[in-house]
Structure 1
């Protein structure tokens, strides 16, 4: 039986020891704009996960990251999936923020996905970590 958790909730507004997270043990952290731009993809990824919206244009990543690290410590999720649009500088920060939280609370399985022209593309943690370093990207591009 699948559970679709549909109400819109911002991560920052959810209790750090949420009953739903403790029950499902799986979190979907998604860029808020996906609700309007790709609702069908969001619906699919929300299945059996607690979907939590984040827009780093509205909230500072330090506040959201502290809240997420607290959730990871208190709720002990088995999985966190990050889903954003591709190409947004704010959404890239969301992926980076989750990787930073893993340094504080290791052991949680994390998957990263971006939506590019309607297609969902999985990206590795290595890609997310590399995106922080412009000098590495410059070298990879051969510039």
Structure 2
């Protein structure tokens, strides 16, 4: 995909889309860690990618506005079954109803596959990269639990 700028064109997206990759692609298999990036961050907040060194992280992108979470989840599970990563990280835009599914998806994959490697969740809030505990991601799936937490906070002095 490209974007026009001052009469010329420049490439906006360079990272591979997860859905387009072979599960053991040469583009990802030689790195110790996997980074799943909300696709728009590459164009909108490219500084985020610099926080994850390319010599450590195989970087793949996902846009859950364009692809169904089940398709992407099956692809990522296939990747994790074939490539022995030492860590999986997800970074998305905070507050996106589509991107939050990437975090839920990774937690679900880890649960189904019983993976025991470290996983990390990050969101970009404004111009800040924030690490989110996996427990927060798991809790966010249950609106009743979130409601009870908010109620407790409101009741606290």
4+ residue segments displaced more than 3 Å? none
The higher-RCO structure (CA 8 Å, 6+ apart) is: 1
Aligned counterpart for 1:103 among listed residues 100, 111, 118 = 111
1:46 is displaced (CA, Å) by 4.7
Q: Does 1:18 align with 2:18?
A: no
User: 1:82-104 deviations in whole A, cap 9, x for unaligned?
Assistant: 00010001111000000111012
Task: State the TM-score, normalizing by the size of structure 2.
Answer: 0.83
Structure of greater Rg: 2
Task: Give the structure 1 partner of residue 3 of structure 2.
Answer: none
1:121 is displaced (CA, Å) by 0.5
Task: Give the structure 2 partner of residue 3 of structure 1.
Answer: none
1:25 is displaced (CA, Å) by 2.4
Task: Give the structure 2 partner of residue 94 of structure 1.
Answer: 102
Task: Give the structure 1 partner of residue 49 of structure 2.
Answer: 42
Task: Give the structure 1 partner of residue 92 of structure 2.
Answer: 84
Task: Give the structure 2 partner of residue 115 of structure 1.
Answer: 124
The alignment yields a C-alpha RMSD, in angstroms, of: 1.5
Aligned counterpart for 1:7 among listed residues 5, 8, 14 = 14
**Distance across 1 between alignment mates of 2:138 and 2:23:** 26
Contact 2:121 2:133 in 1 (8 A): yes
Structure 2 gaps, min length 5: 1-12
User: 1:42-99 deviations in whole A, cap 9, x for unaligned?
Assistant: 2322532111000000000000000101110111211111000100011110000001
Secondary structure of 1:99's counterpart equals helix
Aligned length: 138
Secondary structure of 2:29's counterpart equals helix
Higher mean C-alpha deviation, range 16-25 or range 113-122: 16-25
More helix by share: 1
Contact 2:94 2:125 in 1 (8 A): yes
Structure 1 gaps, min length 5: 1-5
